[in-house]
Structure 1
Amino acid sequence: MVKALNCPNCAAVFNPSDKSCEYCRSYIITTDSKQFTYDLNEFKPSYKKIFFHKIEMGNNELPICSGIANIYYSATKSDGGRLLLTNQRLIFCAHALNMNPNLYWEISLKDVDRVENDLNLFISQRIKVFYRKGNETTFVVYGGKTWIAEIEYAFNQY
């Protein structure tokens, strides 16, 4: 884990173990976990903004879970990064070691038709996100069944 980072809101140095910036009171989520589910009671109304790494959450948007993921193109091509599920959208950000380190993908939950689980090499699992407009995107994740359950929960809750 990094010992100090800069706040994506005000650029002040903060310690990730503090979880919030002491200067602007933004809540900054940083985790290297393979998969992590957030306790929504942890997000206090006093936090001015909530960030997942450098992605700012919208009004009334809260993170539900995040984890290591690859956006899957084919058996020989994918980009690694992190997948984040909020109560409003699903977001993928590539990490800096990719050929395409600036890759950013997101979809509003309103635009998702369904998600399906698919086995991938017995260790991780693929989840397929089907859009209402007919497209689809596939991710390789740890705990695919958990991801499916969390996404379905987000559909029904929000």
Structure 2
Amino acid sequence: MAKSLNCPNCAAVLDPKETSCAYCGSFIITSKAKQITYNLDEFMDEFKPKYKKIFVHGIEMRENECPIRSGFANMFYSVTRSDGGRLLLTNQRLIFCAHAINLNPNLYWELNLNEIDRTELGLNLFISQRIRIFERDENETNFVVYGGKHWQNELTHALDKG
């Protein structure tokens, strides 16, 4: 049985097989993949001119913003505490949204790329790795992700372009 979801822009019922809202014309990207890297050329050339608003996993893209990579991640606080959710890297921001089943299901973390000083690849735990994000104001945030080397490469590339 296919479940429906609502458009993040107008709340109209959206068939999960559809990628755009029939009512408001928003483009909606969702994926059950553990990790996905988006084709930026295709996104900017094909999607941006056609749609009024674009949402990636329920997050509205800003003007000239496009997704680079998204995937499951844990915001890591300590060995005994973390929040699971989805990490999204765009050409403007790094965003984390917690899953609904967390103790803190409304957790939303966002950082503009120009606020990031550097990133490092942390401890390797089999197929997952820790990505360490260092802000210019000396705060540090850690994420445990699948394919940490890919994340690190995409982050480095996005920071170099910014």
Q: Report Cα offsets for 1:86-127 as digits up to 9, x if no partner.
A: 000000000000000000001000000011001242220000
Report what 2:80 is aligned to: 76
| Separation (CA, whole Å) in 1 of partners of 2:83 and 2:61 | 23
Report what 1:12 is aligned to: 12
Report what 1:24 is aligned to: 24
- Please, what TM-score do these two structures have when normalized by structure 2? 0.92
Report what 1:104 is aligned to: 108
User: Equivalent of 1:134, from 130, 138, 160?
Assistant: 138
Report what 1:144 is aligned to: 148
- Please, what TM-score do these two structures have when normalized by structure 1? 0.94
* Partner-residue secondary structure (3-state), 2:17: helix
| Separation (CA, whole Å) in 2 of partners of 1:30 and 1:137 | 25
| Separation (CA, whole Å) in 1 of partners of 2:6 and 2:22 | 11
| Greater shift in the superposed pair: 8-17 or 136-145 | 8-17
| Greater shift in the superposed pair: 98-107 or 41-50 | 41-50
CA positional deviation for 1:12: 1.2
Corresponding residue pairs, total: 158
Amino acid aligned to 2:101: L
| Separation (CA, whole Å) in 2 of partners of 1:51 and 1:24 | 12
| Separation (CA, whole Å) in 2 of partners of 1:18 and 1:154 | 29
CA positional deviation for 1:2: 5.8
Q: CA RMSD in A?
A: 1.5
Identity %, equivalent residues: 65
Report whether the alignment pairs 1:66 with 2:94: no
Report what 1:94 is aligned to: 98
**Alignment gaps of 5+ in structure 1:** none
**Alignment gaps of 5+ in structure 2:** none
| Separation (CA, whole Å) in 1 of partners of 2:105 and 2:81 | 14
